[in-house]
Amino acid sequence: MQRIALLTSGGDAPGMNAAIRAVVRKAIYHGMEVIGIQRGFAGFIEGDMGPMNLGSVADIIHRGGTVLRTARSQEFTTREGRATAYENVKRFRIEGLVIIGGDGSFNGAKVFYEEYGVPVACIPATIDNDIPGTDWCLGFDTAVNTVVDAINKIRDTATSHERTFIVEVMGRNTGFIALQAGLAGGAESIIIPELPYNIEEVCRKLLRGVKRGKLHSVIVVAEGAGSAMEIAKEIKARTDLDTKVTILGHIQRGGTPTALDRVLGSRFGAMAVELLMDNKKTVTVGYKDGKFTYSDLERTLKEQKEVDLQAFRLAGILSI
Ligand code: F6P
């Protein structure tokens, strides 16, 4: 393989830049040329791409976001859009693709391979951490640390005012961020879409806490589990506790990547290049059960990643 292209797609995630750097430098190390595609599949269709060199990825390992920019392309979901992208594959003589993104991007990559046979190595990057085949997606650890930092700050003011805070976090329709950050942040309750919750039980726990002298409570709600505003209203109505809401929003997507996200980005990027060199056609890289590994793209897309029920139960026990 002489020439590969790479793009970042979907929601940005801290660690994407570390992966871009690794793909470019590892490929150049093996004598390949690298084309960087701007703005994900949108730039792929528009031909917004060009050669990258060692210097193009200098001084980016510590930066959040993605230097290649990103987009959610509707056009790539159409046959016409993908046909135009294939014209650019021919024009730039691309022999393999590295796609850095979430499951929507992986789906696009799979369909493109089925239609045009361009080998693809996918790197899981989403703060939601909802991609099977890996325990960690790029960006998850940084996002969780951002949430935990926010919870720490909220605790200070919550204690001073003896308040209950509902902290809404991202995760789309999954609760990975809420669970990890809730456990690390010592939240009183964690509400996630994967498991039913009982508002009466949440309130009983809050009141029990007040009775034994707790000065504050923090409830972490995953955005996919319901509206933090509505939950706050219900809690206020049932307990009369002074209840406030903080919706963390897009600050969870930014910031300098943690060491873990930089290491994962570097290893995933290098692995993606190796797998393409090894003539693999459709793979996703990952880190599972303590090992760097890869799986078949189709299998990754078919599987469902489960939240850790043990961690969920433990968070309940520890926050009694
Ligand atoms: O998939 C990452 C994510 O941040 C989700 O957690 C969130 O629901 C969504 O993207 C927000 O998307 P956008 O930035 O397009 O509003």
Is 315 part of a structural domain of the chain? no
Average per-residue pLDDT in the chain?
97
Region class of 36: left (phi > 0), else alpha (psi between -120 and 50), else beta? beta
Is 167 part of a structural domain of the chain? yes
For residues 82 and 55, membership in a common domain is answered with yes
Radius of gyration over every alpha carbon of the chain, rounded to an integer in angstroms: 22
CA of 11 to the centre of ligand 1 (A): 6
For residues 92 and 202, membership in a common domain is answered with no
Atom of ligand 1 nearest to the CA of 170: 6
For residues 172 and 271, membership in a common domain is answered with no
- Closest CA to ligand 1's atom 13: 11
With b for 16 or more beta-carbon neighbours within 10 A and e for fewer, the 2-23 pattern comes to: eebbbbbbbbbbbbbbbbbbbb
For residues 129 and 20, membership in a common domain is answered with yes
With a threshold of 0.85, does the pTM exceed it? yes
For residues 56 and 102, membership in a common domain is answered with yes
Is 319 part of a structural domain of the chain? no
For residues 9 and 126, membership in a common domain is answered with yes
Q: What is the pLDDT of residue 171?
A: 98
Number of domains in the chain: 2
- Closest CA to ligand 1's atom 7: 172
Cα distance between residue 129 and residue 136, in whole Å: 6
Across the range 144-173, mean pLDDT stands at: 98
Which residues are designated catalytic?
Answer: 128
Cα distance between residue 28 and residue 2, in whole Å: 10
CA of 177 to the centre of ligand 1 (A): 12
Query: Could you tell me the CA-to-CA distances from 137 to 36, 142, 176, 282, 283 in Å, in that order?
Result: 22, 10, 11, 18, 15
Atom of ligand 1 nearest to the CA of 10: 1
Q: What is the pLDDT of residue 217?
A: 96
Q: What is the pLDDT of residue 91?
A: 98
- The token duo for 20 is 């871009």
Domain containing residue 263: CATH number: 3.40.50.450
Query: Could you tell me the CA-to-CA distances from 30 to 54, 176, 192, 280, 284 in Å, in that order?
Result: 13, 37, 45, 16, 21
Atom of ligand 1 nearest to the CA of 252: 4
CA 166-168-172 angle, to 5 degrees, is 155
For residues 244 and 228, membership in a common domain is answered with yes
Boundaries of domain holding 107: 3-139+257-302
CA of 143 to the centre of ligand 1 (A): 12
- Closest CA to ligand 1's atom 9: 172
CA of 172 to the centre of ligand 1 (A): 6
* Own/partner pairs, 313-318, CB within 8 angstroms, 24+ separation: 314/183, 315/179, 315/182, 315/183, 315/187, 315/190, 316/189, 316/190, 318/183, 318/186
For residues 203 and 284, membership in a common domain is answered with no
Is 314 part of a structural domain of the chain? no
The best mutation among 70, 106, 127, 137 to test binding of ligand 1, ranked by most ligand atoms within 8 Å of the C-beta, falls on: 127
The best mutation among 172, 177, 250 to test binding of ligand 1, ranked by most ligand atoms within 8 Å of the C-beta, falls on: 172
Cα distance between residue 270 and residue 66, in whole Å: 17
What is the pLDDT confidence band of residue 320, given thresholds at 50, 70 and 90? confident
- Give me the amino acid identity at 291: K
Is 225 part of a structural domain of the chain? yes
For residues 243 and 261, membership in a common domain is answered with no
Is 307 part of a structural domain of the chain? no
> Are the C-beta atoms of 81 and 75 separated by less than 8 Å?
yes
What is the pLDDT confidence band of residue 166, given thresholds at 50, 70 and 90? very high
For residues 10 and 101, membership in a common domain is answered with yes
Would the pLDDT of 283 be above 90? yes
For residues 111 and 166, membership in a common domain is answered with no
Domain containing residue 226: CATH number: 3.40.50.460
- Closest CA to ligand 1's atom 15: 11
Q: What is the pLDDT of residues 189-238, one digit of tens each?
A: 999 999 999 999 999 999 999 999 999 999 999 999 999 999 999 999 99
Q: What is the pLDDT of residue 266?
A: 98
Atom of ligand 1 nearest to the CA of 223: 8
For residues 50 and 176, membership in a common domain is answered with no
Which residues' Cβ are closer than 6 Å to ligand 1?
Answer: 11, 102, 126-128, 170-172, 223, 253
Is 39 part of a structural domain of the chain? yes
